[in-house]
């Protein structure tokens, strides 16, 4: 979140980074959802430090809807949910009773979604890869990874992110090639009609369509 950041809309979605911002920008167009400001927090560790900056802005009092999307990564989804919930409690904002639910009061609607599916470990990349499961190129990507993973050192394996790597491999098969998951969404390289996106579609629609 840059120094020149300002609140321009009454509905905001806070996401981890610029890649997620680009992805959800394309996703909102697909859903025909408008006038939603996507806030690039700058990393999952910055929700705690940067949300107070958003909350302290004069225009925050005009916010009517706010959503949070975070990756579970290697932890249970509940862990990420609890982290966001504490931030909301600290600022005396409504806290959803559980993941993937919306809480509404007279002033504001709040929802929290943990990637990829509010249950399992993983991230936005996990969800996007599910959308290409039936694409013939998926088997090529899997064979490629089986090949090079076998020669990685143990130190390399400990820091290697297989899902991010598979996303990059998939992007290398597209024409024109793009550098990131978010740019791929803008180019319509992910199949938003796939059922794997149903849950996040419903969440965003429930939160912002009113």
104 and 138 co-located in one domain: no
Q: Which ranges in 36-190 belong to alpha helices (H)?
A: 47-55, 77-90, 124-130, 137-149, 154-159, 162-171, 181-186
For residue 149, the model assigns a pLDDT of 87
Tell whether the model's pLDDT for residue 154 goes beyond 90: no
What pLDDT, on the 0 to 100 scale, is given for residue 148?
87
Q: Which of 167, 197, 194 is nearest to 182 (CA)?
A: 167
Please choose, from the candidates 197, 124, 103, the residue with its C-alpha nearest in 3D space to the C-alpha of residue 166.
124
0.85 exceeded by the pTM? yes
Q: Given pLDDT bands bounded at 50, 70 and 90, which one contains residue 1?
A: low
Same domain, 110 and 155: no
Instruction: Name the domain count of the chain.
Output: 2
Query: Which pLDDT tens digit goes with each residue over 22-48?
Result: 999 999 999 999 999 999 999 988 999
Same structural domain, 99 and 32: yes
Question: Please, which pLDDT band fits residue 129 given cuts at 50, 70 and 90?
Answer: very high
Q: Which residues contact 198 (CB under 8 A, 6 or more apart)?
A: none
Query: Which domain covers residue 88, as residue numbers?
Result: 11-121+193-208
- Same domain assignment for residues 146 and 167: yes
Contact 91, 39 (CB under 8 A): no
Q: Do 116 and 134 have their domain in common? A: no
User: What count of other Cβ atoms lies within 10 Å of the Cβ of residue 32?
Assistant: 8
Same domain (yes/no): 106, 199: yes
**pLDDT tens-digit map of 68-84:** 999 999 999 999 999 99
Q: Report the candidate in 89, 69, 41 with the shortest Cα–Cα distance to residue 208.
A: 69
Examine residue 4 and state whether it is found in any structural domain, yes or no: no
For the stretch 103-124, pLDDT in tens is 998 889 999 999 999 999 999 9
Q: What is the pLDDT of residue 160?
A: 87
Structural domain includes residue 80? yes
- Say if residue 67 is in the same domain as residue 150: no
- 93 shares its domain with 176: no
| Same-domain check for residues 108 and 17 | yes
Q: What is the CATH number of the domain that holds 36?
A: 3.40.50
Question: Do 117 and 200 share a domain, yes or no?
Answer: yes
Q: 20 and 114, same structural domain?
A: yes
Q: Are residues 64 and 163 in the same domain?
A: no
Is 131's pLDDT higher than 70? yes
């Amino acid at each position: 979140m840059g120094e020149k950041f300002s609140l321009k809309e009454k509905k905001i979605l806070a996401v981890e980074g610029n890649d997620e911002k680009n992805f959800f920008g394309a996703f909102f167009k697909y859903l025909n959802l408008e006038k939603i400001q996507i806030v690039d927090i700058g990393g999952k560790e910055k929700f705690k430090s940067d949300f107070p900056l958003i909350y302290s802005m004069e225009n925050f009092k005009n916010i009517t809807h706010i959503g949070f999307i975070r990756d579970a990564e290697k932890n249970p989804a509940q862990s990420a949910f609890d982290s966001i919930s504490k931030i909301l409690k600290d600022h005396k904002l409504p806290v959803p009773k559980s993941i993937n639910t919306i809480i509404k009061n007279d002033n504001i609607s709040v929802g929290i979604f943990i990637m990829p599916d509010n249950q399992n470990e993983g991230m936005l990349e996990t969800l996007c890869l599910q959308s290409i499961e039936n694409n013939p190129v998926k088997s090529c990507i899997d064979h490629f990874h089986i090949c090079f993973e076998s020669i990685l050192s143990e130190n390399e394996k400990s820091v290697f992110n297989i899902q991010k790597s598979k996303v990059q491999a998939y992007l290398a098969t597209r024409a024109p090639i793009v550098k990131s998951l978010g740019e791929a969404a803008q180019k319509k390289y992910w199949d938003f009609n796939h059922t794997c996106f149903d849950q996040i579609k419903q969440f965003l629609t429930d939160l912002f369509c009113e």
